[in-house]
Structure 1
């Protein structure tokens, strides 16, 4: 239940419903008809996604994104790509939707066994009519038994939450520059060998199983990255 509440709070923050700080725990308990423990778990999820700053004795304040860009990629929000973009939502054009078996390359990329059956989804995604990225995404069928043609047109993570109660627990992100090969360059419409920013991501369930891994090639102009970390005093 707290995952759904966290999603609702995140949507409210992204929609500027909460502009300065979250309501008190008591108010949120009444709004969601939930216990204090459930609300605190939900707030913890929102905090880990880089949207809150905790001030002891004062509450949970909204972290403002930099005002000089409307295209901020929040790497802390790894479980829902729709929430990554200011000014969204993204509109998808599905290039490929099929099933494949993991070869050595995909097994290494996704930290899975060779031969694992996967759903493969390759999409071009647009923000306000401009190409935003090329996404190559894979879902092991041992964890995700079914994806529909309609589900891959929209937020796949939202579909997984609603259909299977699948929520990501941890995400590994790796950002690097790559040169585009023939196939990717043709899809994006740029010369072969052009450099672009690439995000490699692996998404895990709480039990450690991989439910998604992907490579996303970003082409949107003036894109900025944001990442949230929590400082821990290891000497305590």
Structure 2
């Protein structure tokens, strides 16, 4: 992982933990460069990531200010790391419903830009917050990119495993959000009724070299999850 990615990840953790809430702003670029023992250009790149992801905004000549957003209540769509990074670890739990190796059919091969028959990890799991089901997820990971995916990894942060253990550099993600009616199985898992409304988030995650690492879909409990996205001027 690039140095500025590591620094932005650490700063996000500190922001979410409330380290800078008292002053409402981050230390200066100079102070951060000394703290992380790196160049100001690297710090600037890390701050640009935080700005793009909606955590901070910059005021010329004044400093880097925290965005007044409660990250514990909304899923920030600007984050690749996503849902798990915004929930307190002591209140968020994951239950694995299925984890197996399968072969890519024509549809999956097309979606993942791989060969038909290539080995894929298929993962289906459900997330709980405060012991209440909030999200049903299913994902496909190419074994060529992710050689091993076990239950102990799937029950924690797969993003951390990819970036910290496998040293993969995540580049970007595409997300499509739509409304739909709940199928019977998902409704039962979420404690809702069949044909209740739901938000469905479809996602592709790419490495920095453009290679697809993950194809996923999440069905969200419409009463327990809200979505957040930030936008900035193109000027």
TM-score after normalising by structure 1? 0.88
What residue number does 2:179 align with? Answer: 177
Q: Distance in 2 between matches of 1:51 and 1:217?
A: 25
Structure 2 residue corresponding to 1:41, chosen from 32, 36, 45: 45
Q: Distance in 2 between matches of 1:183 and 1:36?
A: 51
Q: Distance in 2 between matches of 1:154 and 1:86?
A: 12
What residue number does 2:125 align with? Answer: 123
Unaligned runs of 5+ in 1: none
1:83-104, CA deviations, whole angstroms, 9 ceiling, x for partnerless residues? 2347875210111111122223
What residue number does 1:210 align with? Answer: 212
Q: SS of the counterpart of 1:169? A: strand
What residue number does 2:59 align with? Answer: 55
1:92 and 1:125 in contact (8 A); partners too: yes
Q: SS of the counterpart of 1:37? A: helix
Map 1:1-236 onto structure 2 (within 5 A).
Answer: 1-19=3-21, 20-65=24-69, 70-85=72-87, 90-107=92-109, 109-110=111-112, 112-219=114-221, 221-233=223-235
Pair 1:222–1:79, CA change in 2 (3 A)? closer
Shift of 1:121: 1.4
Shift of 1:155: 0.7
1:207-235, CA deviations, whole angstroms, 9 ceiling, x for partnerless residues? 111111211111163432211223223xx
* Greater mean alpha carbon deviation, residues 171-180 or residues 86-95: 86-95
Shift of 1:138: 1.6
TM-score after normalising by structure 2? 0.88
1:74 and 1:85 in contact (8 A); partners too: no
1:64-97, CA deviations, whole angstroms, 9 ceiling, x for partnerless residues? 115xx95211101122432234787521011111
2:91 and 2:131 in contact (8 A); partners too: no
Q: Distance in 1 between matches of 2:110 and 2:91?
A: 31
* Greater mean alpha carbon deviation, residues 200-209 or residues 34-43: 34-43
Q: Distance in 2 between matches of 1:28 and 1:52?
A: 15
Pair 1:144–1:87, CA change in 2 (3 A)? closer
Unaligned runs of 5+ in 2: none
1:89-126, CA deviations, whole angstroms, 9 ceiling, x for partnerless residues? 52101111111222234345555554332111111101
Give the paired residue count. 231
Q: Distance in 2 between matches of 1:28 and 1:4?
A: 13
